[in-house]
């Protein structure tokens, strides 16, 4: 029997609008020896089983503590979910917080959310419209255009996703510092710039934190255990000038 090339029925219509597959990057930074050894040690301890659904407590505590130190946010570790890279964090937040048929307001680069919103059936717009349900911003556009949008957000019920991953640097501002917005702000970040192959990211905060956790669980159950331990070691030992805008 020959391997099958084509399904006997049509694919789902949503597939047609998704981008072709991209090749992985050829060059990646070396991984520090202490991170490798942390991974090896975790495996030796038997960290090969499911972790808690939202991630290992130590990693979640680090994220909550960091958001407190860096931005003055009051995030409980229970509001943090470790994800398979920022890709999963973006997919979960976009598809659970934006509404099908609505618009997502994105004043900057929208390439990283385009696929998730296509699957959801939501549009991307770069200016305010009546049917906006979510504002997606990153530090790269924070100063230039986002202040005005966040002021407008105070008068709406928009969710706000603040994506720190891939940002060259992060100013000390954060939309969740605004008390009127804090419960509607989800922070996304990742270690993709330095540990891409380990698939580590996170989403933190907001009144939707438990719903987002359940959404992640429905896709991948939990994030790779050994990756979490390696990532935690990287975060604890990282130098402040590293590229990731954590």
Partner 1 sequence: MTMNANPNIPDEVRAVAADGTQLRYALMELAGQMDDVITLGRGDPDLPTPAHIVEAANRALREGRAGLTPVVGLPQLRAAIAEHMREYNGLPVGADNVMVTTGGQEGLFLAIQALIDPGDEILVPDPRYTSYDDAIRRAGGKMVMVPTDREDAFNLEAEAVEAAITPASKALLIVTPSNPTAGIVTEDRLRAIAEVCIRHNLIVIVDEIYGRIVYEPWRHFSIGSLPGMAERTITLDAFSKAYAMTGWRCGYVAAPENVIEAMARVKQVTTGPVATVSQWAGLAALTGPQDCVDEYLKIYTERRAILLDGLDRMGFAYGEPRGGLFVWADSSSTGIHAAELSYLLLKEGRVLIFPGTAFGENWREYVRITLLEPIETLKAAVERMLPVLARYRA
Q: Which residues bind partner 1 (CB under 8 A)?
A: 1-9, 11-15, 18-25, 28, 30-31, 36, 39-40, 43-44, 46-51, 53, 83-85, 87-88, 91, 95, 114-116, 118-119, 195-199, 214-215, 217-227
Distance in Å from the first CA to the final CA of the chain: 52
Instruction: Please state the length of the chain.
Output: 246
Beta strand 185-190 with 159-163: parallel, antiparallel or unpaired?
parallel
15: DSSP letter? G
Q: How far apart are CB 23 and partner 1 at their closest, in Å? A: 7
Q: How far apart are CA 78 and CA 13, in angstroms?
A: 37
Q: Which is nearer to partner 1, 206 or 227 (CB)?
A: 227
Tokens 């790779």 appear where? Answer: 224
Runs of H (alpha helix) within the chain: 33-44, 57-71, 85-97, 111-120, 139-141, 147-153, 192-195, 209-220, 225-237
Q: Which is nearer to partner 1, 39 or 170 (CB)?
A: 39
CA distances from 10 to 6, 13, 30, 45 (A): 9, 8, 44, 47
Q: How far apart are CA 243 and CA 21, in angstroms?
A: 26
At 182, phi and psi to the nearest 5? -50, -40
Q: Which is nearer to partner 1, 168 or 219 (CB)?
A: 219
Q: How far apart are CB 174 and partner 1 at their closest, in Å? A: 25
Q: Which is nearer to partner 1, 30 or 155 (CB)?
A: 30
Q: How far apart are CB 130 and partner 1 at their closest, in Å? A: 24
Q: How far apart are CB 11 and partner 1 at their closest, in Å? A: 5
Q: How far apart are CB 220 and partner 1 at their closest, in Å? A: 5
Q: How far apart are CB 240 and partner 1 at their closest, in Å? A: 24
Q: Which is nearer to partner 1, 1 or 155 (CB)?
A: 1
């Amino acid at each position: 029997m020959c391997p099958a090339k084509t399904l006997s029925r049509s694919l789902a219509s949503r597939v047609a609008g998704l981008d072709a597959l991209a090749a992985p990057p050829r060059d990646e930074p070396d991984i520090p020896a202490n991170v490798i050894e942390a991974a090896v040690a975790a495996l030796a301890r038997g960290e090969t089983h499911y972790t808690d659904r939202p991630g290992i407590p130590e990693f979640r505590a680090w994220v909550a503590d960091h958001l407190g130190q860096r931005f003055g946010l009051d995030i409980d570790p229970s509001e943090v979910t470790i994800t398979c890279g920022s890709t999963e964090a973006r997919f979960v937040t976009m598809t659970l917080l934006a509404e099908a048929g609505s618009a997502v307001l994105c004043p900057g680069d929208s390439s990283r959310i385009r696929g998730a919103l296509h699957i959801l059936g939501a549009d991307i717009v770069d200016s305010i419209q009546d049917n906006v349900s979510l504002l997606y911003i990153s530090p790269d556009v924070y100063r230039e255009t986002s202040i005005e949008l966040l002021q407008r957000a105070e008068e709406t019920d928009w969710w706000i996703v603040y994506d720190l991953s891939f940002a060259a640097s992060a100013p000390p501002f954060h939309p969740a510092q605004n008390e009127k917005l804090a419960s509607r702000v989800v922070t996304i970040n990742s270690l993709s710039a330095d540990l891409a192959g380990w698939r580590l990211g996170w989403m933190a905060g907001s009144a939707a934190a438990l719903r987002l956790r359940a959404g992640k669980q429905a896709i991948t159950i939990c994030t790779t255990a050994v990756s979490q331990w390696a990532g935690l070691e990287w975060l604890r030992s990282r130098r402040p000038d590293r590229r990731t805008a954590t």
